[in-house]
Chain A
């Protein structure tokens, strides 16, 4: 059995350790400081409210309105999340208060005041993720992910996969990050994998 004794050097050691850790935190900013929403408290039913981290794992996904392109790409995104992060997405056959993500694909026109793209080359908004409501802890209990079929009809599978993984990333709690090619770039990168940085955020979050 180990024994402990009071040591006058211990406070100094702890102080040194604290200083060292604080130095490390300055030199190496916590990953959360970059493209992770964290707990924001944002969310209200069918609102235009902004980002918030997801509250639950496993992560249930309900297809409210979709076509074959969206269905395929959501499955690609779910596989990426399942294989590369600590979050376990699963399809839900019904929508209820415990549903985490609602998938909606439409030929959008004006939802949430956005300038929705009229085609794959018109410029404008391709997708949007909003939070339906925050739970008492301030995390988002349910996200709505919207996909603009005006663009998806025109552009290819690589774009669809990027777009859907991008919005699913928002629904986990990720923000845009342009310094590296991946699913969370602000414009399409054609790459639908999360970067190691993105995955560190997701896997570092308490679930």
Chain B
């Protein structure tokens, strides 16, 4: 119990987790937008945008998970995590700030023969009424890139579009197209078999965030967790953290309880 309390307490605290004396690995567009603070973020009032974020949030809220990060900064790909003594892992391949320039159908999924106990989905046409969830292809014009290698000018990401079976997800796609500026955290490992050029968004698509008209950022799909996750981070905070070589964060997983403890 004590260890969990410790984790929760730490979760409530901004941790930049930066080291010192590292070369600048950043390769991003000059300037860049102001980001945050999250306490000022306002979710767009557009109905379609709210439909999109609401659909993703409802699924995220109903899931139980193991998450190692405490905030957005820790998702930068220069932050390693050592879990139970294993080789370090990172929680993203890049954190990207950009602007939506196009949204188009990607892929859709259903359960084989409609079997509710299936472990793995099967692809179906994007407009299939059998689709239980879809992935939209979102093209982003990149403003700032926090990842290894030079920043590409554009990037395609897959945006998770959950919705009740039989509906077409049009509202969610409309919402994505209206997003404007956004921030995405790219999954470090997963790929889409239907197009490996389309990057997977981390945490089941929940780490697609919005930048409002004032420049504040929020991750509405995280629900009440959004504010803590952003933790008033700004672009300057991301730049500063990305320029460092932080020590890896060590986390021990209690194999009996699944409780996490940082050391």
Which A residues are closer than 8 A to B by beta carbons? 42-51, 64-65, 102, 104, 106-115, 117, 120-130, 144, 151, 154-159, 162-163, 166-167, 170, 175-176, 178, 181, 185-191
Contact = CB atoms under 8 A, between A and B. Distances in A.
Interface string B141-164: 000000000000000000010111
Nearest to B114: A46
A115 B58 CA distance: 16
A48 B259 contact: no
B135 A158 contact: no
Chain B interface bracket (under 10, 10 to 19, 20 to 34, 35 or more): 35 or more
Contact of B163 (A46, A48, A108, A155): A48
Contacts of A154: 255
29 contacts: A46-B165, A47-B164, A47-B165, A49-B59, A50-B57, A65-B117, A106-B117, A107-B119, A110-B120, A110-B121, A111-B119, A111-B120, A111-B121, A112-B59, A115-B187, A121-B86, A123-B67, A125-B204, A130-B62, A151-B66, A155-B256, A159-B256, A162-B257, A162-B258, A167-B64, A185-B8, A187-B4, A189-B257, A189-B259
Contacts of A64: 116-117
Nearest to A157: B256
A121 to B, nearest CB: 5
A122 to B, nearest CB: 8
Interface string B174-187: 00000000000001
B260 interface: yes
